[in-house]
Chains A and B, each alone.
Chain A
Amino acid sequence: GESVGLHLPTLSVQEGDNSIINCAYSNSASDYFIWYKQESGKGPQFIIDIRSNMDKRQGQRVTVLLNKTVKHLSLQIAATQPGDSAVYFCAESLDKLIFGTGTRLQVFP
């Protein structure tokens, strides 16, 4: 069946370093992908999206990379800040959004 999974359940980085959060998806027909950030007690917050006809998209301090050959998605956060600490979810979409279980990003000084 369809599934989206994450390689690292917890990622710890030092403030100022770059963070890379990885995600594997299983449905090669998925054509739309989203990264969300969820802080404790809050709903998921949209970060960035990418369509299957692209392999890279940049936002403010964030970059999403899509490798359709190996069905891999990553989120890069530049100059990680304490406010980036949260759980990050990737989601793939074909007929509906399928979310992964999330990666917790911890930023330490």
Chain B
Amino acid sequence: GAGVSQSPSNKVTEKGKDVELRCDPISGHTALYWYRQRLGQGLEFLIYFQGNSAPDKSGLPSDRFSAERTGESVSTLTIQRTQQEDSAVYLCASSPNWLGQPQHFGDGTRLSIL
């Protein structure tokens, strides 16, 4: 069966540009999560969605970061005016419901800011 799909797999862009990262969760999963992983580091929570609403945005690093989800399916993470410190792998995960269940991850988008 299809797992979590993320696109693009790699993105190289110039400092100051906006980028949009996409996540297609496993069908039927109501909970969706975004994480950031810097090289050699653990996963840093950014935001999660329960359905189309985002009860917890506490992990978003700055107001340059935003995310939305539509149709309880696809989610996009947008980074405006990218900075070099935004370079990282951005991982998306989904689970059937919130809490108490394992999250299933995509392979991430590797973002490089020149």
**A interface residues (Cβ-Cβ under 8 A, vs B):** 31-32, 34, 36, 41-46, 49, 51, 89, 91, 93, 95-102
CB-based A-B contact count at 8 angstroms: 48
A89 CA to B107 CA in the complex, in Å?
16
Q: Are A96 and B45 in contact (CB under 8 A)?
A: yes
A87 CA to B46 CA in the complex, in Å?
21
Across-interface contacts of B102 in A (CB, < 8 A): 34, 46, 49
Q: Are B45 and A98 in contact (CB under 8 A)?
A: yes
Q: Is the interface of A mostly helix, strand, loop or mixed?
A: strand
Residues of B in contact (CB 8 Å), total 20
Across-interface contacts of B45 in A (CB, < 8 A): 96-99
Known contacts A31-B100, A44-B93; can you find 9 more A-B pairs with CB under 8 A?
A: A36-B105, A43-B4, A43-B93, A44-B43, A51-B100, A95-B99, A96-B45, A97-B33, A100-B42
Q: Is the interface of B mostly helix, strand, loop or mixed?
A: loop
B91 at the interface (CB under 8 A from A): yes
Question: For window 22-39 of chain B, which residues contact chain A by CB distance below 8 Å?
Answer: 33, 35
Q: Are A45 and B100 in contact (CB under 8 A)?
A: no
Q: A46-B102, A46-B104 are in contact. Are A96 and B43 (CB under 8 A)?
A: no
A49 CA to B108 CA in the complex, in Å?
22
B48 at the interface (CB under 8 A from A): yes
Across-interface contacts of A36 in B (CB, < 8 A): 105
**B interface residues (Cβ-Cβ under 8 A, vs A):** 4, 33, 35, 41-43, 45, 48, 56, 91, 93, 99-100, 102-108
Name the residue among B102, B103, B106, B108 with the largest chain A CB count within 10 angstroms: B102
Q: How far is the CB of A25 from chain B (nearest CB, A)?
A: 13
Can you show 26 pairs from A to B with CB atoms below 8 A apart?
A32-B99, A32-B100, A34-B102, A34-B103, A36-B105, A41-B107, A42-B107, A43-B4, A44-B93, A44-B105, A45-B105, A49-B102, A89-B42, A89-B43, A91-B43, A93-B99, A96-B45, A96-B48, A96-B56, A98-B45, A99-B35, A99-B42, A99-B45, A100-B42, A101-B41, A102-B42
